[in-house]
Amino acid sequence: MKHTFRQVFHSGKFVVGFSIFMGLLLIVFVYPVIIKYPPLEVIGQGTFFPPGIYVNTFDSINAPTTYTLILDNAAAKRISNKLSNDDRLAMKEWLVSDGIPDTQIDTSDIVSLLDLWEKNFDPTKSFPGMTYAKERYYQRVNASLQGILSTEAEIIAAQNPQTNALEQTGVVKQTDYVNISNVANVRVLLLGTDNFGRDVLGELVKATGVSLQIGLVAGIIATLIGLALGLLGGYIGGFVDDIIMFITNMFTVIPTFVLLILISFSIGQEKRGAVTIAIVIGFTSWVWTARAVRSQVVSLRNRDHVNLSKLSGHSIVHIIATDILPYIASYVVMAFILQISSGILSEAGLSILGLGPRTTDVPTLGLMMNWAMIYQAEILGKWWAYFPVLVTIALITFSMNLMNTGLDQVFNPALRD
């Protein structure tokens, strides 16, 4: 046993796959311990907030201490943040259409550009070929330019509840800074929010856990059924084997996906929990294990040690447990690994069809994908809603297959390099 493990962990492929998988598992277990936000809490009022650090504006203005930092490029950064390169080119385009020579306009020199703009821009002016949308765009740009070069402080005012008049409560200078640790509310959304306004990262970690559970349950069920049928058919043979092979052959040809769809739809939305889906997947995917186990057992059945055991009068259960199972254990483990990964993929495929677990209580990788697709995240360019999910699925299946190939190379001498 010890020797086998040492051999397995000497296989490079297995080790890589194993480390990826363990890394994922570690994240699934450790992340919720460190970050205790509920994964399905709706926090964003709106869809698909981009990834980043969200700092509460109110709290930063009211931070207990403010610091003054004199940074050279602060003003330039402020301007370029408000006025992107595209905006500058668009401004240039407008000015050129207005009749100002191309050479006089320098988009890198903000001051002269703004100067020209202020002198010439007329929001009511429209050029032939300019759409209404474009006209509105220029009006918006013009509005955002108001006060862009000012160096004055902004005044904070609050409404007095008695008089309803605005009273100055503070002044924010352009050189004011707060330390982020002094801001009461900062939320790091490394992967932004999804279509419901939920934190994608927390959801993803939770979903990975649930999907792995689904894969595990489906894999255990499929392996147990496949193992039982394969052992029965292979060892007993005869009529039992014929029947089992008949059923197995039939289910290899009938597409599993279709069976999954039919069963999941019949179960109904209310009764479809993650576990139910896992059980359904397990009950439809045992075929390959059964075939592999049976062919192994058939070749083992007439080996000398098995015959000796029979002659000694051991029971069938004893023979199977001590003389057959140890020989096929490595195959079963490999098949089990593949079953887990295909179970996760099946769940994802079902969920995309809208037949996955019901959406309210647990996230799964497939459901996250499904919602991202429904809200067209891929067309809108909201990569954080679907790409991490895809990467996670690919990492899980990839690591499992690597482990499987590694094991295969250890246990199957014909495949060794």
Partner 1 sequence: MKGYRKYFLNKLVWFLVTFFFAFILNFILPRLMPGDPVAGIVARLAQGMTNTTGVQAIYQQYANLFGTNKPMLEQFFLYVRNVVHGDFGFSFSQYPRTVADVLKSSIGWTLALQFPAIIVGWIIGNTLGALAAYLKKGFDKVIMPISIFVSNFPAFGMAVILLVVFGVGLKWFPTSGGYGFDLIPNFSWGFVWSVIVHYQLPFWSIVLIAIGGQAIGMRSMSIYELNADYVKYSRFLGIPDRKIVGYVFRNAMLPQVTGLALSIGTMVGGALVAEIIFSYPGLGFTLLNSVTGGDYPLISASTLIITVMVLCANFLIEIIYGFIDPRIKTAQAD
Identity of the residue, 90 or 247, whose beta carbon is nearer to partner 1 in the bound complex = 247
The two structure tokens encoding residue 94: 């407008």
Query: How many angstroms separate the most distant Cα atoms in the chain?
Result: 107
Q: Is 259 in the site for partner 1 (CB under 8 A)?
A: yes
Given the rule CB under 8 A, which of 66-74, 158-166, 310-318, 393-401 is the region that contacts partner 1? Answer: 393-401
Task: Out of 220, 352, 358, 359, point to the residue binding partner 1 (CB under 8 A).
Answer: 352
Q: SS in 3 state form for 39-98?
A: CCCECCCCCCCCCEEEECHHHHHCCCCCEECCCCCHHHHHHHHHCCHHHHHHHHHHHHHC
Handedness of CA 264, 267, 268, 271 (dihedral sign): negative
Identity of the residue, 295 or 401, whose beta carbon is nearer to partner 1 in the bound complex = 401
Task: Out of 101, 128, 268, 313, point to the residue binding partner 1 (CB under 8 A).
Answer: 268
Q: Is 257 in the site for partner 1 (CB under 8 A)?
A: yes
Task: Out of 255, 307, 308, 318, point to the residue binding partner 1 (CB under 8 A).
Answer: 255
Q: Is 393 in the site for partner 1 (CB under 8 A)?
A: yes
Identity of the residue, 229 or 319, whose beta carbon is nearer to partner 1 in the bound complex = 229
Q: Is 345 in the site for partner 1 (CB under 8 A)?
A: yes
d(CA 155, CA 64): 17
Given the rule CB under 8 A, which of 78-86, 135-143, 209-217, 342-350 is the region that contacts partner 1? Answer: 342-350
The two structure tokens encoding residue 40: 């399905």
Identity of the residue, 123 or 255, whose beta carbon is nearer to partner 1 in the bound complex = 255
Give the nearest distance from C-beta 368 to partner 1 in angstroms.
12
Q: Is 341 in the site for partner 1 (CB under 8 A)?
A: yes
Q: Is 348 in the site for partner 1 (CB under 8 A)?
A: yes
The DSSP 8-state label assigned to residue 182 in this structure reads: G
d(CA 116, CA 96): 11
What is the separation of C-alpha 166 from the centre of its chain, rounded to a whole number of angstroms? 47
Q: Is 276 in the site for partner 1 (CB under 8 A)?
A: no
Task: Out of 265, 283, 327, 411, point to the residue binding partner 1 (CB under 8 A).
Answer: 265
Q: Is 415 in the site for partner 1 (CB under 8 A)?
A: yes
Exposure string of 290-309, with b = 16+ CB inside 10 Å and e = fewer, is: bbbbbebbeebbeeeebeeb
Give the nearest distance from C-beta 380 to partner 1 in angstroms.
9
| Contact criterion met (CB below 8 Å) for 406 and 17 | yes
The DSSP 8-state label assigned to residue 102 in this structure reads: G
Give the nearest distance from C-beta 149 to partner 1 in angstroms.
36
d(CA 85, CA 74): 17
Which residues share a beta bridge with 188? 53
**Binding positions for partner 1, rule: CB under 8 A:** 249-250, 252-259, 261-263, 265-268, 341, 345, 348-349, 352-355, 369, 373, 378-379, 381, 383, 386, 390, 393-394, 397-398, 400-402, 405, 414-415
